[in-house]
Amino acid sequence: MKPITRAALAAVVAAAFCGAAWAQAKSAADGIAEYRKMLEDGNPAELFEAKGEDLWKKKRGPKNASLEQCDLGKGPGVVKGAFVELPRFFADTGKVQDLETRLVHCMATLQGLDAAEIAKTRFGQGEMANVTALATWVASMSRGMKFNLSQAHAEERRSYEIGKRVFFFRGGTHDFSCAACHSADGQRIRLQDLPNLTKNPGDGIGFAAWPAYRVSNGEMWSMQLRLNDCYRQQRFPYPGFGSEITVALGTYMGVNAKGAESIAPAIKR
């Protein structure tokens, strides 16, 4: 994206937020809804969607293969509707996987790329940037669909129970947990509305909004990066990419969001 465009976009969003600050009656949510509307036809996430679709179809890696045979849970190559059912249990790995860990699994098995190496790569760089673009495209293929995670498999139920415990885990220098900010309705940090993630927080809110394009830093953020930065602000140590607790948190939030309509990839402050 051209810097000038990004600056213009930031200005629009800043204006939306200043507006919200200026008139207290107007909440941050109204501001967000307003600029989302303004940018309806121009969410920069589209660029990442296009990149992701290319990456899905392109022959790459040591095996020179595309990802078109990747099974995201609904059978090899089925992308539509996959996002709103993840995380889910996969028989071939014997594990519950979220979108990003499943994509990395496919990149490793189908294309011969090094999964451990990808997991170690910084967000926004190298193959990790590709995982984010792929996740953005896959999510976009379920836009407007409702979250409906399975709890049929024992591992899926276990993942939910682990995720719930992780969500309420207090620690660190500030005694924070996910629940400290995300277990009540109608609360804010500064002007930022906080979704209550212990239940369905509503269409396109919380789990149903990520991946999202973040205007403030001009980056595309996946769910894994969203969780990573939550933990940074919680003053916790560093969660491994695709680590079990991050997937379990996805299961917890995803199951709770049952019936919420996905707007991912969304656009955020």
Partner 1 sequence: MNTRFALIAAAAGAAVLLAGCATGPSKAELDQQAMALMKASFRDQGIAKVDRLNQDLGQAACSTDAEVSDEVAERIRNEALASIRWPAGGQYFGNWIDGERIAQSGRGMTWTDASAETRNNGGNCYNCHQIDKKELSYGTIGPSLWNYGKLRGITDVTAPTAAPIVQYTWAKLWNSKAYAACSNMPRFGHMKVLDEQQIRHIMSLLLDPRSPVNQ
Establish if 109 lies at the interface with partner 1 (CB under 8 A).
no
Backbone angles phi, psi at 167, to 5 degrees: -60, -35
Cβ proximity to partner 1, 17 vs 147, nearer residue? 17
Establish if 238 lies at the interface with partner 1 (CB under 8 A).
yes
Q: CB under 8 Å to 186, separation ≥6 — which residues?
A: 193
Establish if 245 lies at the interface with partner 1 (CB under 8 A).
yes
Cβ proximity to partner 1, 143 vs 168, nearer residue? 168
- CA–CA separation, 186 and 39 (whole Å): 25
CB of 32 closer than 8 Å to CB of 268: yes
CB of 190 closer than 8 Å to CB of 243: no
Other CB atoms within 10 Å distance of the CB of residue 152: 9
Please choose, out of 53-61, 85-93, 186-194, 214-222, the segment that lies near partner 1 by the rule CB under 8 A: 186-194
Q: Give the shortest CB-6-to-partner 1 separation in angstroms.
A: 22
Considering just the CA atoms, what is the radius of gyration of the chain in Å? 18
**Is 178 an active-site residue?**
no
Cα–chain center distance at 206? 9
CB of 20 closer than 8 Å to CB of 226: no
x-marked contacts with partner 1 along 112-151 as a string, rule CB under 8 A: ----------------------------------------
Establish if 179 lies at the interface with partner 1 (CB under 8 A).
yes
Please report, for residues 84, 105, 201, 227, 262, the alpha-carbon distance to residue 207 in angstroms, rounded to integers and kept in the order given. Answer: 10, 22, 9, 11, 8
Task: Determine which residue in the list 157, 218, 219, 230 makes contact with partner 1, applying CB under 8 A.
Answer: 157
CB of 251 closer than 8 Å to CB of 223: no
Assigned token pair, 32: 């967000």
Q: Give the shortest CB-192-to-partner 1 separation in angstroms.
A: 8
Task: Determine which residue in the list 69, 93, 188, 217 makes contact with partner 1, applying CB under 8 A.
Answer: 188
Q: Give the shortest CB-176-to-partner 1 separation in angstroms.
A: 8
Task: Determine which residue in the list 14, 168, 204, 261 makes contact with partner 1, applying CB under 8 A.
Answer: 168
Establish if 190 lies at the interface with partner 1 (CB under 8 A).
yes
Establish if 174 lies at the interface with partner 1 (CB under 8 A).
yes
Which residues contribute to the site for partner 1 (CB under 8 A)?
Answer: 21-22, 24, 154, 157-158, 161-162, 165-166, 168-177, 179-181, 183-184, 186-191, 194, 198, 231-233, 235-240, 243-246, 248
